[in-house]
Amino acid sequence: MTGPDLSPDALAKVTAEIASTAAEYDRTGDLPWAGIEVAHRAGLLTATVATRYGGPGLGPRDTARILTALGEGDASVGLLAANSLTTHAAQAAFSTWPEHYYEDLLRRSQDGPALVNAIRAEPELGAPARGGLPRTTATLDNGEWVLNGRKAYATGGTGLAYHVVWAVEPETQRVGHLIVPGDLPGITWVDSWDHLGLRASNTHDVIYEDVRVPADAFREIPRQPDGGYRDPATAAGPGSFGHPALYIGVARAARSAFAAFARERVPAALGKPIAQTERIQAVAGEIDLQIVQAETLLHGALLRLEAGDTAILPDLSAIKVAIGRSVIAATQTAVAALGNPGLSRHHSLERHLRDALCIRVHPPQEDAVLLAAGRRVLGS
């Protein structure tokens, strides 16, 4: 694999092509295959494949640039890409996949888009970042793992080539992930996704009934020294800024939509575009300020990490929260200034607002981050 073209012009072209179908997929809720195909042809879905596998091996800052461009075109495409890019980056760092499965994923990625996602949340438990163990089980039988359970919020739906399923071995209580091809018998999808935003992401429920995978498909997650299990998503890490990056793209799309409307809107009483009024110019400046702030936080944090500055590690979760606040503030400011047009489904701003609000659901969530930070500050 050769490296993708990440020049501003090339990424802008990808953004525009994906954006041309985003509204239709938002209306239908279908998987945004047209946008995914655009990202695949540009080499963006495999940009984090390690060089030892023949991939570009791009790092977090380039990944962030890719996801911002995709999210600006269609947030659902950005989310699907973020999950796949994160999986490839994790394999590059830790080599947790069985080689035969990962080679198959790479083969599929040459033929077309091959999406992959970690399937972790459950209807009863919710997201594991809040603690608890899965009810989904993986049991050894005649040298194979047998997977049973129901998962929620499994982004990608039937479009996933591979699932990385969080499960527990009942007898030993070992917790880990099973690498599961998406086309195996025993996998049933339940169309449960009817969400405010990211409507094309197909984040449905999935049921596993006696799904069998080889013994080497299980990767145990180590327990803490006290014997407990702590989910990695409870705190942001160096590789967890893909989601914030794509939502910065959503805010950028809102900024562009606001500017286009302001240039075209000519009220009869005003006799000129509202873009020429100081009020709208100040609003545009506020939107831009929030986006600049979010981008600076994102890339500033990643640059510090690249430089080996470990002092920033305790602050990464707070940085994610701050980025989320800026993304939502930018988008809400644009919508509020336009009034009814900004809330109409005839205008893309309404969709951007719905998508931007979804940044809050990605762990670690704001209340947990603030509590942890406050305890650290107070020394408790």
The tens digit of pLDDT for each residue in 18-35 reads: 999 999 999 999 999 999
CATH 1.10.540.10 fits 8-113, yes or no: yes
Give the right CATH number for 119-220 from 2.40.110.10, 3.40.50.970, 3.40.50.300, 1.10.357.10: 2.40.110.10
Domains 119-220 and 234-378 share a fold: no
**Where are the domains positioned within the chain?**
8-113, 119-220, 234-378
**pTM (2 d.p.):** 0.95
Q: What is the model's pLDDT at position 260?
A: 97
Q: What is the DSSP string of 186-255?
A: TEEEE-----SS-TTS--EEEEEEEEEEEGGGEEEPPPPTTS----GGGS--TT--HHHHHHHHHHHHHH
CB 265 within 8 A of CB 274: yes
Whole-number CA gyration radius for the chain: 21
Q: From CA 374, how far away is CA 365, in angstroms rounded?
A: 14
Superfamily covering domain 234-378: Butyryl-CoA Dehydrogenase, subunit A, domain 3 (1.20.140.10)
Q: What is the pLDDT of residues 162-201, one digit of tens each?
A: 999 999 999 999 999 999 999 999 999 999 999 999 999 9
Q: What is the pLDDT of residues 58-87, one digit of tens each?
A: 999 999 999 999 999 999 999 999 999 999
